[in-house]
Structure 1
Amino acid sequence: MTILIGYVPTPEGEAALDTGIAEGKLRSENIVILNSPRKGAAVDATLASADQVAALLKRAHDAGVPASIRQPGHTDDLTDEFIDIADEIDASLIVIGLRRRSQVGKFILGSHSQRILLQADRPVLAVKAGEKS
């Protein structure tokens, strides 16, 4: 089976990656790192560079966990893209990072993490930056 990890180059993304690698090692499962930029964006801070991708794969390799990375562009709905890939690879677990937001911020901007937690039909492990498992 495979663990799907949502990754963006932020402390929350790093926490998700660290936890996902640890879970992959514990369960003897492969990991797929999903880093999905918005299609058509001239610059996207959520997109990992080629050097970052190499470093992510090396971290997994050094931990003894087979890994691959996917960087499909998404249009309007990152959550649907995320859940579609989880279905495609038959993920046994989804690992995502959470950031602290106010209630108003959640209401106005929505929350991809919240939607993944509610809509995924498989276990989701949500971690915060600074917390290790």
Structure 2
Amino acid sequence: MYHVVLGVDEDEERALACAEQVADLPGDPGEVSVTIIHSFTDNPSGASATQIHSVRKVGEFFDDHGIDYEVTESSGDPATAIIELADEEDADLIVVAGRKRSPAGKALFGSVTQDVILRAGRPVMVAGTAKKA
């Protein structure tokens, strides 16, 4: 069994790009289990992760591809939440989405993906959203 922690934000395109990469991992989809995590940085309405559209879409994708998954949520720093969950579950792989940002944007707002890559003590796959030719 191969266990993946998949960090999902609100962007459906990035979330589905990550899900596609998980489905493309070698082996049978039945040998993969995924924990989808959504970390709320601001949640005044008290929503749960399963109410986030991108999380639901990834779940539907995994259902269609026969991949077992569960959904969890956290609050606070997303990178820390992803890394801590991967450590707790002894995940084989962390999957996060990349996105293009200017150097100033990275300096001002940081990058969850970059933080996960630099701090995780296990393999990290970064899925892009570039269109296939």
Q: TM bucket by the smaller chain?
A: 0.7 to 0.9
Cα displacement string for residues 49-91 of structure 1 (whole angstroms, at most 9, x for unaligned residues): 267655432321221111111122x22x221111100011111
Deviation of residue 5 (structure 1)?
A: 0.8
Deviation of residue 30 (structure 1)?
A: 0.6
Asked if structure 2 preserves the Cα contact closer than 8 Å seen for 1:3 and 1:24, the reply is: no
Residue correspondence of structure 1 range 42-81 to structure 2 within 5 A:
42=44, 49=51, 53-72=55-74, 74-75=75-76, 77-81=77-81
| Partner of residue 19, structure 2 | 17
Stretch moving more, 79-88 or 13-22: 13-22
Partners of 2:50 and 2:10 in 1: CA distance: 6
What is the percentage of aligned positions where both structures have the same residue? Answer: 24
Cα displacement string for residues 98-128 of structure 1 (whole angstroms, at most 9, x for unaligned residues): 1100011111111111010011010000011
Partners of 2:131 and 2:45 in 1: CA distance: 30
Normalised to the residue count of structure 1, the TM-score between the two structures is: 0.80
Asked if structure 2 preserves the Cα contact closer than 8 Å seen for 1:8 and 1:48, the reply is: no
Partners of 1:121 and 1:128 in 2: CA distance: 21
Corresponding pairs, count: 128
Q: Give the residue type in structure 1 aligned to 2:39.
A: S
DSSP-derived class of the 1:99 partner: coil
Partners of 1:121 and 1:101 in 2: CA distance: 25
| Partner of residue 7, structure 2 | 6
Normalised to the residue count of structure 2, the TM-score between the two structures is: 0.80
Computed over aligned residues only, the root mean square deviation of the Cα atoms, in angstroms, reads 2.7
Q: Give the residue type in structure 1 aligned to 2:62.
A: A
Structure 1: state its 5+ residue gaps: none
Deviation of residue 9 (structure 1)?
A: 3.2
Residue correspondence of structure 1 range 75-114 to structure 2 within 5 A:
75=76, 77-114=77-114
Residues 51 and 119 (structure 1), Cα distance of their counterparts in 2 relative to 1, 3 Å cut: closer
